[in-house]
Amino acid sequence: MPTQTATQIAKLGGQEITYTLTRSRRRSIGLQISQHGLRISAPLHTPLSHIDSVLQQKAGWITKKLAQWQDKKSLALDWSLDATYPLLGEPWHMALQPAGELAMIRSFDEELPQLHAIGLTSRQIQTFVMGWYQQQAITCFKQRIELYAPELAIPIPPFRLSQAKTRWGSCNSRGVISLNWRLIQLPLHLVDYVVAHELAHLIEMNHSKTFWNLVEDIYPNYQVARNKLKGYG
């Protein structure tokens, strides 16, 4: 018998949880929680009542992990015509201008223009959107650096966009700041925290108490922003 997959609903901790159930030639029940939700793998002839019993035993763990994934905000992008592209925490979409040119527009409640008639490949969409992101990032980051640097009584430092996989920002011994282009997707107050953090490193190249005092001097709520930043992956 081939593998069987179906969508099921269980009531755990007072809330309805939709999960994907996959039956195959295996000997035990397995649970997996990811950004795709709850997935259950079970032997072919396991009764639903037994699966539900296992879920009830693990209810606390399941609801906790699902909540953690829901809080984890992904910045992964889908290069399609109807995708949403966050800019400073707000949703934007691609649109076609009356002159026939592509543009990015803020997403409001009204119906968005349909672009499916335009024969664009995912690579072309990526090139267009990334060009827009980089332009927005350079403008925004420059303004925020110019806003916060005087607060530390330091010259406006040069900066560059980074594509680092694990760092939002960094600075080197030459005084050049690197800011991850993905920051432009986040709300402005988180951009400001990273900018303040890296500017403080131009004075203290460490994470000592003196360093955090400098950050706090120009960004008093840095601890709140720091914790929120950890919610993005």
- CATH number of residue 85's parent domain: 3.30.2010.10
Picking from 52, 71, 90, the residue at the C-terminal end of a domain is: 71
Residues 115 and 169 in one domain: yes
CB 42 within 8 A of CB 29: yes
Picking from 18, 48, 71, the residue at the C-terminal end of a domain is: 71
> Quick one: the chain helix, strand, coil %, rounded to 5?
40, 25, 35
Residues 9 and 102 in one domain: no
Residues 179 and 189 in one domain: yes
Long-range contacts of 190-195, Cβ-Cβ distance < 8 Å, separation of 24 or more: 190/225, 190/228, 190/229, 191/88, 191/140, 191/141, 191/144, 192/144, 192/148, 192/219, 192/225, 193/219, 193/222, 193/225, 193/226, 193/229, 194/168, 194/169, 194/229, 195/141, 195/144, 195/145, 195/148, 195/169
Neighbours of 156 (CB within 10 A): 12
* Backbone torsions φ then ψ of 205, nearest 5 degrees: -85, 55
Residues 89 and 198 in one domain: yes
Q: pTM for this one?
A: 0.68
Residues 84 and 193 in one domain: yes
Residues 66 and 89 in one domain: no
Cβ neighbours of residue 136 under 8 Å, at least 6 residues apart?
Answer: 87, 184
Residues 111 and 22 in one domain: no
Residues 132 and 35 in one domain: no
d(CA 79, CA 123): 8
Residues 217 and 154 in one domain: yes
As for how many domains the chain has, the answer is 2
Q: Is residue 33 classed as helix, strand or coil in its secondary structure?
A: strand
Range of the domain at 25: 4-71
Residues 149 and 230 in one domain: yes
Residues 9 and 86 in one domain: no
Picking from 71, 94, 114, the residue at the C-terminal end of a domain is: 71
What is the residue-level pLDDT of the chain in tens, covering all 233 positions? 456 778 889 999 888 898 989 888 888 898 888 656 888 989 988 999 999 999 999 999 898 888 766 655 667 788 887 778 889 988 888 887 777 778 888 765 344 445 544 677 889 889 999 999 999 999 999 999 999 999 999 999 999 999 988 899 999 989 999 999 999 999 999 999 999 999 999 999 999 999 999 999 999 989 999 988 888 76
Residues 46 and 98 in one domain: no
Please compute Rg for the chain using Cα positions. Answer: 23
